[in-house]
Amino acid sequence: MRFPSPVSLQWIATFINAELIGNTTAVATGINEIHRVEEGDLVFVDHPKYYDKCINSAASFIIINKKADCPDGKALLITDEPFEAYCKLVNHFAPFTPSAKNISDTAVVSESSIIFPGVYIGHNVTIGSNCIIHPHVSIMDNCIIGDNVIIQAGTVIGSDAFYYNGKKNREHWYKKMPSCGRVIIKNDAEIGANCTIDRGVSHDTIIGAGTKLDNLVHIGHDVVVGNNCLFAAAVVVGGCTEIKDGVTLWGQVAINKTLTVGENAVVLAQSGVPASIEGNKTYLGSPAQQASAAKREMVWIKRIPELWAKMKGV
């Protein structure tokens, strides 16, 4: 999430009651989570496993619960509860704002677009020209819909990320991480019926130009889908995954989180992708492997009873 304008670290340290060390005169331009950080961003870390990763990431400023060596030009904001500090900042700069209207007064919708009855359009949503938004679609706050986009009935754009801070030393183990990102759907994309596309936790979920989603597709938080992709029904894509241009995912494919699917890859139906895969190849199975190898394995598996019978007869 970008701040409306750069924010002084001195002000942030006071606001979250943190000790500030390092580049104390700097300003932060945004707040982010570790998978999408950029220069100028503020990020939080509260587990030793991720201290080094956060401190040495692209983030310029780190909310942390332990004193540590601070790289030149960066700053640490030390507080007992970094997650609570992060939430306080998000809720300050992106507060929840209820709506009493089907279409918010702050939404901008092109006159050439068709909005069917029963559509909900939240605060600060932008919808471009020549779009068709079918009945009972919900487009939540701050989402951006390009030109010539079709969204079929019952789809939800911009629902909260499924992202929780988990600690077993408290009564309720999982605390919701507030979502302050957006969903951006680019020109000429089509979204099927009853799809769900989660907003980014603190960055953007992006559906590329010309990409087509079938019904019942779920796209997790902070996913970036390239241009001209094709996803068949019941595809599931985990958070922070990057899917390059021209990828085809056939029905019921499941993609794990925080991985990359290369350009023009094809993943055949009911496959599971647990790790990054190269582009320009066809994959099958769970875990997915190149389809030619997977098909050979299937042939040999079918021959096991025959081979076993021969062995018993020896």
Phi-psi region of 296 (alpha: psi -120 to 50; beta: other; left: phi over 0): alpha
Q: Is 221 a catalytic residue?
A: yes
The three-class DSSP label of residue 48 is: helix
Token output for 62 = 């780190």
**Sequence-distant (≥ 6) Cβ neighbours of residue 252 within 8 angstroms:** 233, 234, 235, 269, 270
How many residues are recorded in the chain? 314
Catalytic residue among 35, 203, 218, 221: 221
Which among 230, 220, 246, 84 is positioned nearest to 161, based on CA atoms?
220
The three-class DSSP label of residue 55 is: helix
What does residue 157 show for φ and ψ, rounded to 5 degrees? -110, 120
Residue 220 to residue 255: CA distance in whole angstroms: 10
Do 204 and 222 touch, CB atoms closer than 8 A?
yes
Which residues carry out catalysis? 221
